[in-house]
Amino acid sequence: MEKTQKAFFDTYTDFQCYVIAQVNNGDYNGIGATHYNMVEYLYRNGPATGKTLAQKFHISAPAISRHVKILLEKKLIIQQQSPQDRRLFLLEVTAKGKHLVDGSENQRHSVTTRISSMLPKKELEQFTRILRKVVDVLKEEEER
């Protein structure tokens, strides 16, 4: 294998293992990484339906249904039936959920927050640009 490619392979493998391990075992102030990511997503992007989350996170509707149930129990989100279309349940982050993401004291920040504070702005932009390109191609391939 060519040198550049080999360096990339090693680094990407490391990164991927880290991402997976973090999703499997990561604890963000008492909730798992996936739950944390959902709360953070709703916080940053505003209310969304389960259907939207399913598409965003590439998981099935039943999987979302269970996640939502747990997040509701933990009072990190609330659910409101849409009056226009009563099949829809809008999910919205609560003050408690926001507080969790803001991570006031002694709390562990999300990976995104940590990365964006570790890289200088210019590098972060470069990284984002390339990563965007990668994601778009991978997604495109996936749809085929």
Partner DNA sequence: TGTGAATAGTTAACAAAGTTAAATAATTTC
Partner DNA sequence: GAAATTATTTAACTTTGTTAACTATTCACA
Asked whether position 61 contacts its own copies by CB under 8 A, the answer is no
Asked whether position 107 contacts its own copies by CB under 8 A, the answer is no
Closer residue to DNA, CB minimum distance, 85 or 140: 85
How many contiguous H segments (helices) and E segments (strands) does the chain have? 7, 5
Partner touching 132 among DNA, its own copies, none, CB below 5 to 8 Å by kind = its own copies
Asked whether position 16 contacts DNA by CB under 7 A, the answer is no
What single DSSP character describes residue 82? -
Can you tell me the distance from the alpha carbon of 78 to that of 73, in angstroms, rounded to the nearest whole number?
Answer: 9
Rounded to a whole number of angstroms, the distance between the first and last alpha carbons of the chain is: 28
Q: Which of residues 17-46 bind DNA (CB under 7 A)?
A: 20-21, 24-25, 32, 34-35
Q: Which of residues 55-114 bind DNA (CB under 7 A)?
A: 58-70, 79, 84-89
Can you tell me the distance from the alpha carbon of 140 to that of 123, in angstroms, rounded to the nearest whole number?
Answer: 26
Q: CB–CB of 92/78 below 8 Å?
A: yes
Q: Which of 95, 59, 62, 53 is nearest to 76 (CA)?
A: 95
Can you tell me the distance from the alpha carbon of 53 to that of 142, in angstroms, rounded to the nearest whole number?
Answer: 18
Partner touching 87 among DNA, its own copies, none, CB below 5 to 8 Å by kind = DNA
Give the interface with its own copies as residue ranges (CB under 8 A).
Answer: 1, 4-9, 11-21, 23-24, 34, 37, 41, 44, 56-59, 111-112, 114-116, 118-119, 121, 123-128, 130-135, 137-139, 141-142
Give the interface with DNA as residue ranges (CB under 7 A).
Answer: 20-21, 24-25, 32, 34-35, 49-51, 54, 58-70, 79, 84-89
